[in-house]
Amino acid sequence: MKRLLISHIADEDGITPVILANLVFEKLDILLLEPSEVDKKLSENIIKYDEIHIVDLNVSEEMAKKINDNEEVKNKIKIFDHHKSKLDLNKYDFITVIDEENNQKESGTSIYYRYLLTISDNEILHKKVTKDFVNEVRIIDTYDFKTKEDEKTKNLDLLFSILGRENYINYFTKYLKENDKFIYGEKEKYLIKLEQDKLNNYLEQKLKEMFIVKIDNYKVGLVYAEKYRSQLGNIICEKYPDLDYAVIINISKSISFRGKDKVDLSVIAGSLGGGGHKNASGAPLPENLLEKISKLIFPNIEIIKEEKGDGINE
């Protein structure tokens, strides 16, 4: 059987399902995407695969209707998502969206993990270290910090920043196989300390670069940053409680929104073609933005070719 896993390219909650799925399935192709790419890439790959899992991402309402009307296609697709803005898609039986359950915020990883447990008796999947690892990913992705112990999960975010996607997959696949408890050793602690110092310096610099602006009568902290966007957004909201929310723009990728219960950011992100949660959402950049910026800097520029990778890892 040919299987494809489509997941979010941005963070641990999108990358960890790759680790879990590889424990269960012998042959698996991986496609890591931004939310705006899902419909197109799914359409291109539906015929090629017998089973397709989509995690921490979702399809549009239009695409969901098309899938639902085709019994053969519908039977090969399962979607596992946790974004509040996509809850309406639960009306389709091939889509599972859970924002919160039993007073616990859910992540794409935690929802997918529970599904895999029902279909596999893989020993590593059922180990306590794997369960704890999944919960660490859930907490850091949802910022569901309820105890001081939960705060330590931020270290996982630092390790992800150090390792990058491919090394993260390889490192924690090996970690789950070789350990019974999710505890960092001296090597991990040293790397975390180095990255924490780097993070602190970066956040300090970005706070100096931040603009305070008005957007639709909301008071907003706006900053351009390519790294540590979740941490930056949350520290802005903590340091400037008078702000309604924070906007972090990665000029080459997307827009991130972070808040503290003042505004439903999933609505704001939705108006820009994105979505997410009340306090953490995202949206794509305007089309051809980099070309427009280039023309602003160089009025006489002529764009000959724009190179783009396909984002496929097989």
If asked whether residues 11 and 85 sit together in one domain, one would say: yes
If asked whether residues 264 and 171 sit together in one domain, one would say: no
**pLDDT per residue as tens digits for the range 154-210:** 899 999 999 999 999 999 999 999 999 999 999 899 999 999 999 999 999 999 999
If asked whether residues 220 and 178 sit together in one domain, one would say: no
Residue 84 lies in a domain: yes
d(CA 237, CA 229): 12
Residue 118 lies in a domain: yes
What Å distances lie between residue 177 and 5, 17, 23, 171, CA to CA? 21, 16, 10, 10
User: Looking at the predicted structure, is the pLDDT value of residue 314 above 70?
Assistant: no
If asked whether residues 135 and 38 sit together in one domain, one would say: yes
Q: What CATH number corresponds to the domain at position 222?
A: 3.10.310.30
If asked whether residues 130 and 269 sit together in one domain, one would say: no
Residue 281 lies in a domain: yes
> Do residues 12 and 140 lie in contact, with contact meaning Cβ atoms separated by under 8 Å?
yes
> In which band, very low, low, confident or very high, does the pLDDT at 310 lie, cut at 50, 70 and 90?
very low
If asked whether residues 12 and 132 sit together in one domain, one would say: yes
Residue 261 lies in a domain: yes
Name the residue range of residue 279's domain: 205-293
If asked whether residues 135 and 214 sit together in one domain, one would say: no
**pLDDT per residue as tens digits for the range 1-50:** 899 999 999 899 999 999 999 999 999 999 999 998 999 999 999 999 99
What Å distances lie between residue 246 and 87, 149, 254, 282, CA to CA? 24, 26, 14, 11
If asked whether residues 135 and 213 sit together in one domain, one would say: no
> Do residues 265 and 245 lie in contact, with contact meaning Cβ atoms separated by under 8 Å?
yes
Give SS3 for 143.
Answer: coil
User: Looking at the predicted structure, is the pLDDT value of residue 215 above 60?
Assistant: yes
> Do residues 221 and 246 lie in contact, with contact meaning Cβ atoms separated by under 8 Å?
yes
**pLDDT per residue as tens digits for the range 80-106:** 999 988 999 999 999 999 999 988 999
Burial bucket for residue 148 (CB in 10 Å: 0-12, 13-18, 19+)? exposed
pTM of the predicted protein model: 0.82
Kindly report which listed range (133-137, 141-145, 216-220, 271-275) carries the lowest average pLDDT score: 141-145
The structure tokens listed for 125 are: 């999947």
CA geometry: angle at 8 spanning 193 and 60, to 5°? 150
If asked whether residues 41 and 177 sit together in one domain, one would say: yes
Number of domains in the chain: 2
If asked whether residues 62 and 172 sit together in one domain, one would say: yes
If asked whether residues 12 and 117 sit together in one domain, one would say: yes
d(CA 274, CA 269): 5
User: Looking at the predicted structure, is the pLDDT value of residue 252 above 70?
Assistant: yes
